[in-house]
Amino acid sequence: MPGEPAKRQKREAYKSSVESEEQQAALPKKKFYRQRAHANPFSDHCLAYPKSPKDMDWASHYPAYAVQHDSAVRTEDESHDAAQVSSRRAISKPVEIADIGCGYGGLLFALAPRFPDTLMLGMEIRISVTEYVQEKVRALRTQNAATNGFQNVSCIRANTMKFLPNFFSKHQLSKIFLCFPDPHFKQRKHKARIVSYTLSSEYAYVLRPGGIVYTITDVEDLHRWMVEHLEKHPSFERIGEEEQEQDECVHIMRSETEEGKKVTRNGGQKFVACFRRVEDPPWP
């Protein structure tokens, strides 16, 4: 395609300038990170994901929360590697909020200051978009170094439809956000939707009882689909209108996500539905 090489060249030049000039505090420019809005969740991709939640290197994402092992272990060269690996991995508290399909991270950057003591993770399947959020996290952390701001937010590239349980252990999360997901209009693509009856079991697995799944979309049909599938699932109950509107996360989700802003600009509608994860019933 003509134009491609120039675009790639510009992107590469931009990205190397970000690294070399130590513009640690400069926010990344979105135009260099755009990527088509769809990804095939069924394809293998070249994904990096931990074998299990225990193998996840969380400390590299939340360095301010890293647990430093006693440095005595690290004195000799021989034990150096092993000690570093383990000290890099552990963090003092687990991630509790996941924004699945976080896009450019609008929601995360709004939530981070409101829940300063809660770790939150954006998960995005598109590689460039993930890089953008990571760059923005780095820049915001540098800008807010004095207050230790934005240390509680990070982003990884992941296909959560396949690998969510590789990142989070049972009942680890308190909130999952599914904001403006790909509607997959075609009937035969419906299994690619981020909400389905069967996938809800995985959301229920990583959510603690009482935890909440937040959904928002501007496509009414998708809204009905998500409500239908989550309501059908015995592990979830829909949260009533009144309680929903009292939740500040709902307001942030409406106003702060990139798509949310876009829909407002276009005068479109936004459909919100929230679901509480109920306690598992006793074995029959």
Partner 1 sequence: MALPYSCIEACRLSTNGADEWALIAASGTRLVVQSSSGAYTTWPPASGSAVGDTEAEGPPGKKIKLSDPSENTSNFSCLALTHDQKHIIAVTAEDKCIRVFRIDTEFQLQQLSQRCMTRRPCAIAMTSDDSTILCADKFGDVYSLPLLPGPEDEQIRSPSVEQSEAAGEKAFVPAASVLTVHSGRNRRVLEEQLKQAAKGPKKPKEGPTFKHDLLLGHVSMLTDIAYANVNGRSYIITADRDEHIRVSRGPPQAHIIEGFCYGHESFVSRLCLVGPDRLVSGGGDPDLFVWDWTNFELLGKLHLRDAVLRFLREQPDLAARVPEDANSFRIAVSGIWHVPSEANEILAACEGIPALFSFRIGISSTAEQCIVLTGNALDVTFIRQSQTGCTAVVSVDNVHVRVSTTERREAEATSRLEYFSYRPGGQWEQDAETGRAFERISQSGGHADKEASLMTSTTGSEKALGAILYGIENLRKRPDSDD
Rule CB under 8 A: which residues touch partner 1?
A: 36-38, 40-46, 51-54, 127, 161-163, 165-166, 170, 183, 185-186, 191, 196-202, 204-205, 218-222, 233-235, 259, 262-263, 266-269, 280-281, 283-284
Q: Does 125 carry a binding-site annotation? A: yes
Cβ-proximal residues to 56 (8 Å cutoff; 6+ apart), any chain: 50, 89, 166, 167
Nearest-approach distance from CB 153 to partner 1, in angstroms: 24
Q: Does 159 carry a binding-site annotation? A: yes
**Encoded amino acid at 135, one letter:** E
Looking at residue 40, the DSSP 8-state letter turns out to be: -
Strand 95-100 relative to strand 207-217: parallel, antiparallel, unpaired? unpaired
The active-site residue out of 44, 70, 182, 221 is: 182
Q: Does 40 carry a binding-site annotation? A: no
Note if 182 is an active site residue.
Answer: yes
Taking CA atoms, 29 is separated from 111, 129, 133, 207, 223, in Å, by 21, 11, 10, 34, 32
Beta carbon nearer to partner 1, 128 or 144: 128
Beta carbon nearer to partner 1, 50 or 149: 50
Residues pairing with 236 in the sheet: 277
Beta carbon nearer to partner 1, 92 or 201: 201
Q: Does 122 carry a binding-site annotation? A: no
CA angle in degrees (0–180, nearest 5) for 98-103-109: 65
Active site residues: 182
Binding residues for S-adenosyl-L-methionine, by number, are 101, 124-125, 159-160, 179, 257-259
